[in-house]
């Protein structure tokens, strides 16, 4: 992991220093950069942009352009896009916000910013949910959720690069001094921030152990319903069938996905439909976008 970060940094530095002098050629092929199968970011992106469709059997079909460049990591997406003037990719907003090597494209005329994600105008954003079976009754779980939604908990959420759901009135947390083991499980995308939350909570409540299991959003909801997990995690909205079965979802933070291009790319604005067409390979040249 450390090697990859180091490499990404090196790549980024070199890409930044190599400023292209040539005019942007609209007849060039769009170099689509995608994450690998199974990535949570890819799952959310294809769902929100319509790259994913349902087939006749009702199964989800991922129509990502097969000639895309597949890379396995957020930082690799960013460096690959930074290096190629004709590339386009997507990455978690938090990773792109403070990165000048790539440019964020407006989607449907809306800038990808935390404000626009909060007011819902930026189209490609997904809630990170925690899921419980009805209202919580377990004291420890209630206290943990109080922490997660408190000012301290939301600071942890923000520190992981998510858009927190807190505002000025959010109360701060006072440790209740409980003890026990809290089992949280589900989405692999939510798990990292949940682990941070668990560590912060265990520091304030030394007798509590928070066990975070990353199994996937669906497994998280199912686990919360059947009692395997006290609290489940899902990086998507709940399905109707899950709500009917008694699942209750609460957003603990919102994750935006930015569409990124090279800083040399003159394209500033894409419609959601154009994003879909690019990532399914229906439009393959930059010139094709203007039609």
Partner 1 sequence: MRGLFLASACVCILAVLIISAFLFINGLPFFRAYPPVDFVLGTEWAPLRDVFGILPMIVGSFYVTFGALLLGAPIGILTAILMARFAPAPVVRAMKPAVALLAGIPSVVYGFFGVMLLVPLVREHIGGTGKSVLVASVLLAIMILPTIIQTSLAAINAVPQTYYEGSLALGATHESSVFRAIVPAARPGIISGMVLGIGRAIGETMAIIMVAGNNPRMPGDLLKGVRTLTVNVLMEMGYAADLHRESLIATGVVLFLIVMAINYLFSFFNRRRVMQ
* Interface residue list for partner 1 (CB under 8 A): 3, 7, 10-11, 14, 29, 31, 36-40, 43, 59-62, 66-72, 83-84, 87, 188, 215-216, 219
Q: Which residues contact 59 (CB under 8 A, 6 or more apart)?
A: none
3-state helix, strand, coil in the chain (%, to 5): 35, 25, 40
Task: Dihedral sign for Cα 86, 268, 74, 231, please.
Answer: negative
In angstroms, give the least distance from the CB of 199 to partner 1.
Answer: 21
In angstroms, give the least distance from the CB of 189 to partner 1.
Answer: 9
Nearer to partner 1 (CB atom), residue 72 or residue 159: 72
Nearer to partner 1 (CB atom), residue 71 or residue 270: 71
Tell me if 235 sits within 8 A of 121, measured CB to CB: no
Nearer to partner 1 (CB atom), residue 180 or residue 281: 281
Closest CA to 278 of 264, 259, 262: 259
Nearer to partner 1 (CB atom), residue 154 or residue 188: 188
Rounded Cα distance, 91 and 281, in Å: 19
From start to end of 25-159, where are the E strands? 31-35, 52-54, 60-62, 69-71, 87-92, 102-104, 106-107, 125-133
In angstroms, give the least distance from the CB of 221 to partner 1.
Answer: 15
Nearer to partner 1 (CB atom), residue 83 or residue 94: 83
In angstroms, give the least distance from the CB of 29 to partner 1.
Answer: 7
Tell me if 129 sits within 8 A of 238, measured CB to CB: yes
In angstroms, give the least distance from the CB of 181 to partner 1.
Answer: 23
Distances (CA, A) of 250 to 4, 47, 131, 165, 227: 34, 20, 7, 10, 17
In angstroms, give the least distance from the CB of 135 to partner 1.
Answer: 29
CB atoms within 10 A of CB 24: 14
Nearer to partner 1 (CB atom), residue 7 or residue 181: 7
Tell me if 69 sits within 8 A of 75, measured CB to CB: no
Nearer to partner 1 (CB atom), residue 164 or residue 223: 223
In angstroms, give the least distance from the CB of 265 to partner 1.
Answer: 15
Tell me if 87 sits within 8 A of 33, measured CB to CB: yes
């Amino acid at each position: 992991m450390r090697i990859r970060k180091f490499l990404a940094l090196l790549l980024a530095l070199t890409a930044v220093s190599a400023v292209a002098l040539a005019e942007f050629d609209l007849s060039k092929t769009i170099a689509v950069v995608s994450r690998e199968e199974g990535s949570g970011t890819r799952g959310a992106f294809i769902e929100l942009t319509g790259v994913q469709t349902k087939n006749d059997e009702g199964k989800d079909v991922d129509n990502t352009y097969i000639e895309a460049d597949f890379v396995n990591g957020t930082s690799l997406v960013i460096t690959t896009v930074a290096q190629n003037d004709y590339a386009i990719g997507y990455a978690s907003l938090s990773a792109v916000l403070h990165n000048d090597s790539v440019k964020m494209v407006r989607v449907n005329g809306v800038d990808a910013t935390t404000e626009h994600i909060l007011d819902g105008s930026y189209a490609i954003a997904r809630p990170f949910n925690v899921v419980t079976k009805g209202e919580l009754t377990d004291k420890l779980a209630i206290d943990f959720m109080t922490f997660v939604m408190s000012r301290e908990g939301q600071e942890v959420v923000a520190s992981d690069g998510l858009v927190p759901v807190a505002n000025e009135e959010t109360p701060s947390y006072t440790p209740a001094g409980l003890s026990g083991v809290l089992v949280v499980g589900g989405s692999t995308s939510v798990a990292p921030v949940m682990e941070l939350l668990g560590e912060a909570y265990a520091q304030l409540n030394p007798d509590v152990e928070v066990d975070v299991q990353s199994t996937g959003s669906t497994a998280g909801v199912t686990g919360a319903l059947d009692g395997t997990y006290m609290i489940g995690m899902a990086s998507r909205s709940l399905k109707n069938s899950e709500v009917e079965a008694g699942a209750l979802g609460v957003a603990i933070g919102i994750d935006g996905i930015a569409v990124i291009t090279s800083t040399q790319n003159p394209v500033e604005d894409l419609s959601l439909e154009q994003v879909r067409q690019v990532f399914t390979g229906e439009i393959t040249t930059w010139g094709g976008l203007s039609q």
